Amino acid sequence: MKEFFIHMKKKLLTTILLSTVALSQVATVINVTADSTDDKIAAQNSKIDSLNAQQVSAQAQVDQIQAQVSEIKKQQESLQAENDRLNEESARLSAEIEELSKNIVARQESLANQARSAQTTGTATSYINAIVSSGSLTEAISRISAMNEIADANNKMLQDQKRDKEEIAQKQKENNDAINTVIANKQQLEDDAQALSTKEAELKVAQLNLAAEKSSAENEKNALLQQKAEAEKAAAAAAAAEAAYRAKQKEQQEAVKASANTTLQAQVQAATKTPATTEAAAPAAPAATAQPAVQTQAAAAPVATTSRPTYSSSASSYPVGECTWGAKTLAPWAGDYWGNGGQWAASAAAAGFRTGSQPQVGAIACWNDGGYGHVAVVTAVQSTTSIQVSESNYNGIRSIGNYRGWFNPTTAQGVVTYIYPN
């Protein structure tokens, strides 16, 4: 019996020990499993937090670029609206300048005729004779009154002439400012268009990057990443295009600046070396009256001395690269605020310069095509239908040069009028 109890005791102790070991192993397995799951959860949470941070960053980039794009578009709309307003203002001023010019020229002719008449007849002598030859005191008084009315009319004409000249000078300045602003705005619009193209390409990259970060499906993400890579190439191409555009702009500006060093004499000498073409040449004159094929000097014609405004010799009042800038550079005697090319003839006539339809070396050719018009300086003449000029902004070339050789000015770009320097 005693041995039985001892045996049972040993068996019980063994069972207890085995149970303890088994329970210990189970606990260890449970603890290991729990620890592993917590690590995975923590890693997943970290991944989610990182993804959320990337999305926030990508969204901020999208918002920033979108704001830049909106600002550029807003600026473009504002500049375009301003250009529309300024073009309307320039058209109004141009019409007013045209009308004032006609009035000034008409009065100028009347005053010149009166001056010549006074020199021929002797105004003071005629005045005295009219009084002395009167048949009565009443007639003498009547004649004196009539002569005073004529004198008052002349004085009024002189005052009107002075007023209109002051008014046209002010309108020419305002018109020129409007034209210069429109040209500057157009350049800014071109620059903004290039910048907008780059920013829109960058925006597409940022948007695709955000979409890729938000995508949970691996295949969709890969497709988006491929689109992003293509968009990055497009953005790089847009940036390169903008850089090339700005480099070309710089090159053109340097060429324009260099061309301003030319002179009318040099342009005339170059034109005389240009072979004549038969396309626009005038019919040959009889041998007894034959003239040189190319006119290299302006024909001097006796003209009455006219009082003209004093202008600067600088072309700074006109936008660099425009046809008006080129003409003023080669012909410094031209006015400072004569407007667009098509407005120069009217402005010059109002200032007292001769205008006409005969080409002359050194004269300014002014074409009125119903729009902005064009001006150039004549460097050689064969006939009224065959000349050479030096000019700027011909076919978009903004430096000064002879780009057409011999051509017919009457069929070039509207009605042509020549402004003579004497």
Query: Domains in the chain, ordered, with CATH?
Result: 2-259 (1.10.287), 264-283+291-419 (3.90.1720.10)
| Nearby residues of 377 by Cβ (< 8 Å), 6 or more positions away | 264, 267, 326, 327, 330, 331, 362, 363, 364, 365, 389, 390, 391
Among 239, 261, 242, smallest CA distance to 250 is for: 242
Q: Which of 66-80, 105-119, 402-416 has the lowest mean pLDDT?
A: 105-119
Q: What is the pLDDT of residues 6-29, one digit of tens each?
A: 555 555 455 544 445 444 554 444
Look at the alpha carbons of 80, 83, 85, 88 in this order and tell me if their dihedral is positive or negative.
Answer: negative
Structure confidence at residue 301 as a pLDDT band (50, 70, 90): very low
Q: What is the pLDDT of residues 336-368, one digit of tens each?
A: 999 999 999 999 999 999 999 999 999 999 999
C-alpha distances in angstroms, 321 versus 9, 134, 246? 116, 68, 16
Question: How would you label 231-260 residue by residue, b for 16+ Cβ within 10 Å and e otherwise?
Answer: bbebbeebeeebeebeeeeeeeeeebeebb
The pair of structure tokens assigned to 248 is: 């070309």
Question: Could you tell me which residue, 391 or 288, shows the higher pLDDT?
Answer: 391
Q: What is the pLDDT of residues 158-211, one digit of tens each?
A: 898 899 999 999 989 899 998 999 999 888 888 888 888 898 888 888 878 777
Among 211, 112, 106, 98, smallest CA distance to 160 is for: 106
DSSP string, 79-123: HHHHHHHHHHHHHHHHHHHHHHHHHHHHHHHHHHHHHHHHHHHTH
What's the pTM value of the predicted model, to 2 decimals? 0.61
Pairing of strands 374-383, 415-419: unpaired
97 DSSP β-pair partners: none
Check if the beta carbon of residue 307 is closer than 8 Å to that of residue 115.
Answer: no
Structure confidence at residue 218 as a pLDDT band (50, 70, 90): low
Rounded to whole angstroms, the Cα distance separating 308 from 362 reads 18
The pair of structure tokens assigned to 89 is: 């203002």
pLDDT of residue 346: 96
pLDDT of residue 323: 97
Terminal Cα distance for the chain, rounded: 154
Question: Could you tell me which residue, 250 or 417, shows the higher pLDDT?
Answer: 417
pLDDT above 50: residue 292: no
> Residues 320, 326, 330, CA angle at the centre, nearest 5°?
135
Pairing of strands 415-419, 364-368: antiparallel
Among 261, 278, 296, smallest CA distance to 408 is for: 278
**Torsion over CA of 158, 164, 166 and 170, rounded to 10 degrees?**
180
Q: What is the pLDDT of residues 321-334, one digit of tens each?
A: 999 999 999 999 99
